[in-house]
Structure 1
Amino acid sequence: MMFHDLSERERQVLSIIIQAYVINAAPVGSRYIAKNYNLGLSDATIRNVMADLEDEGYISQPHTSAGRVPTDKGYRYYVDLIMRVRRIEEEEKKRIDHNFKQLNYDPKDSAEVLKAVAKVLGSISQQLSVVISPKLSNALFERLDMILLSSSRIMVVLSIQSLFVRTIVMELNLEVSRQQIDSVIELLNQRLSGLTLSEIRNSISRRLADCDKDKALLNMIVRSADNLFDDSPVLERLYIAGTEYIVNQPEFDQPQKVRDLVCMIEDKSRMVELLFERDDDLVSNSTSGLDVSISIGRENTASTAEDFTVVTTPYYVGNTMGRLGVLGPKRMDYERVVRLVNYMADRLSHSLS
């Protein structure tokens, strides 16, 4: 986005309009700024600065009142060139720790950890929080187990990179014994452990080509490799929380806005795209020094997300990367949300590693 080079005075006024609008959810007028902020400027001078900002597209007048609200361009300028994100305060950390303690979850179960992080991020930010389990393309396969459900049905349990587990039920077109299954498990774990899922998919038939024992069962595993060792993000491992907080915000006093939000929440694949679509645009914010992706309004490709801002950041488990973020009205406290998202990502990386 091309920006007009704003003067220090214009930056000050734009920053105040955004901060005041975030707090009050009401258009901001020149008289309000003159009265509440000691800029050393008259009401008339502030009015002129606001007129210039409006001409450049950074603020707009929603109706005939004297007040102005930020545009997508105004928010983008603020986020890229004005915002400064401080380190998270100890008091905020204590609040987050307290929220985690209130949840009864198993810290050794990755699904419960991701769910807990989504709940805490939603309640602390008062926005919609989304946590997606890591993309598994670079995840290391640790071991495989099989549970015999019947003579022609097995459950395959894959342990992947630290705490992540996938279970897949397979129908067999042959009957197998427990002894055969144990033999195949031992062989697969010997030959595949330590490889990435993509390496296994691309080379499993070659790695098992010299095996003559239990050939029928092994052939079935090879034929099912694309499904068994699938490394795409798993939609069931997408966790959303905070709906009860976000719908209380003034932006959602219109039924259509609530419907748009519900549609987004229900479309899990779209939600995954929203969080991952700006991966290539991930940069260290020039003023905050933090790796965040902030997508504002119409920068989001989904038409239902045009009134929202999406703030996301990656977290890491070994060689794998997941993503977490916050989705809320464009009128959000960007500095605080960025701070929270980054802190929660660090905490999640630490918890799962």
Structure 2
Amino acid sequence: MKSSDLTSREREVLGIVIQSYVVSANPVSSRFIARNYNLGLSDATIRNVMADLEDAGYISQPHTSAGRVPTDKGYRYYVDLIMSVQRIDDEEKHRIDSNFRLFAVDRRDSSEVLLAAAKVMGSISRQLSVVLSPRLSLAVFERLDMVLLSSSRIMVVLSIQSMFVKTIVMELDVEVSRQQIEQVVEILNERLSGLRLDEIRNSISRRLADCDTAEGLLGLVVRSADILFDESPVFDRLYISGTEYIVSQPEFDQPEKVRDLICMIEDKSRMARLVEYDEFSVPAGPVERDVSITIGKEHPASTAEDFTLVTTPYYVGSTMGRLAVLGPKRMDYARVVRVVNYMADCLSTTLSDVN
């Protein structure tokens, strides 16, 4: 979309309609704009401008109101061509940093750090926040440990780049001694450490070709490689917070709206796909880095048509996770972008520094 699609006067009025609606949640009338904004325009002129914006599909009129509200098209134009994202100020930085320290007490625990990030984003943005841990396939394997739980069960603990840990309990069909466990652990760590999980899955047989893997514990590990070195289930990678904030928004004053929202949140697989899916998400024009903003019907899932999703990646070594804020389309876009951007930096730094 080009800026020439709207005149400077239309852009100014559209920006005011959106900013006013974000604050008040009430439809915005030409009289309200004339009285509260010194545009040098009469009520009648503003009304004509709003009529043109409505004809072009940028704003619409609720049935029972004389005012106008933004449409998905209006929000998209605003995000791409009107919104100005300022650098995060020191006060907001301090709030985020102090809250992050409060929630993430043990920064050696990646789960605690990711949940803390979700809590901070939720409380600061007053929206629903979602943090998705990185896909483990591209993560670097550091070491493996085994804990004998009983004569027929063993727990395998995989330490993955930057604090991420995966545990799996395996059933044994043979008895093993602690000495055998130590030997297998030593071989696996010597041969596999420093490789990506997908590399291990695809090459473990070749890398252990000179070992006896026909039977025994080492053979069980090789046969179970697709499970041991695979992705964690998507619902284990998802951290959500801020439900109490989003349900207090005026958009959810009807019980069925709250029910639909809760159903969407509880379907973690669908929520994860929503955050990861960015084929149709559109990078915001003036936004730093690679923040994407998906509005209303731009979402591939019809259940998200009443929402805006602001997402950005964070990085841990060679892997990438995503964090997002989900809220009504009537959100303070510039502020949410600042919070998401800064939180991504905090998360990348915290997870990359602790090893």
Residue 124 of structure 1: aligned partner: 124
Conserved? CA contact 2:125–2:336, under 8 Å: yes
> What letter is aligned with 2:225?
A
> What letter is aligned with 1:246?
I
> What letter is aligned with 1:316?
Y
Counterparts in 2 of 1:303-314, with a 5 A limit? 303-314=302-313
Gaps of 5+ in 2: none
Residue 11 of structure 2: aligned partner: 11
* Cα displacement string for residues 10-42 of structure 1 (whole angstroms, at most 9, x for unaligned residues): 100000000000000000000000111111111
Whole-angstrom distance in 2 between the partners of 1:207 and 1:104: 39
Task: Tell me by how many angstroms 1:103 deviates.
Answer: 2.8
Conserved? CA contact 2:234–2:272, under 8 Å: no
* Cα displacement string for residues 91-114 of structure 1 (whole angstroms, at most 9, x for unaligned residues): 101111232343362111100000
Whole-angstrom distance in 2 between the partners of 1:275 and 1:92: 25
Whole-angstrom distance in 1 between the partners of 2:208 and 2:157: 19
* Pair 1:325-2:344 in alignment: no
Whole-angstrom distance in 1 between the partners of 2:24 and 2:139: 46
Task: Tell me by how many angstroms 1:306 deviates.
Answer: 0.9
Residue 114 of structure 1: aligned partner: 114
Whole-angstrom distance in 2 between the partners of 1:145 and 1:56: 63
Task: Tell me by how many angstroms 1:281 deviates.
Answer: 4.5
Residue 20 of structure 1: aligned partner: 20
Residue 349 of structure 1: aligned partner: 348
Gaps of 5+ in 1: none
Residue 175 of structure 2: aligned partner: 175
**Residues 329-338 or 225-234, more deviating:** 225-234
Residue 134 of structure 1: aligned partner: 134
> What letter is aligned with 2:132?
I
Counterparts in 2 of 1:156-305, with a 5 A limit? 156-212=156-212, 215-231=215-231, 234-278=234-278, 281=281, 283=283, 285-305=284-304
Residue 134 of structure 1 aligns to a residue whose secondary structure is coil
Conserved? CA contact 1:308–1:328, under 8 Å: yes
% identity of equivalent residues: 73
Give the TM-score taking structure 2 as reference length.
Answer: 0.95
Whole-angstrom distance in 1 between the partners of 2:233 and 2:195: 18
> What letter is aligned with 1:71?
T
Residue 111 of structure 1 aligns to a residue whose secondary structure is helix
Task: Tell me by how many angstroms 1:198 deviates.
Answer: 0.5
Corresponding residue pairs, total: 352
Conserved? CA contact 1:205–1:222, under 8 Å: yes
Whole-angstrom distance in 2 between the partners of 1:176 and 1:288: 57
Whole-angstrom distance in 1 between the partners of 2:10 and 2:326: 28
Give the TM-score taking structure 1 as reference length.
Answer: 0.96
Q: Which 4+ residue blocks in structure 1 deviate beyond 6 angstroms?
A: 1-4
Whole-angstrom distance in 2 between the partners of 1:71 and 1:282: 16
Whole-angstrom distance in 2 between the partners of 1:247 and 1:346: 28
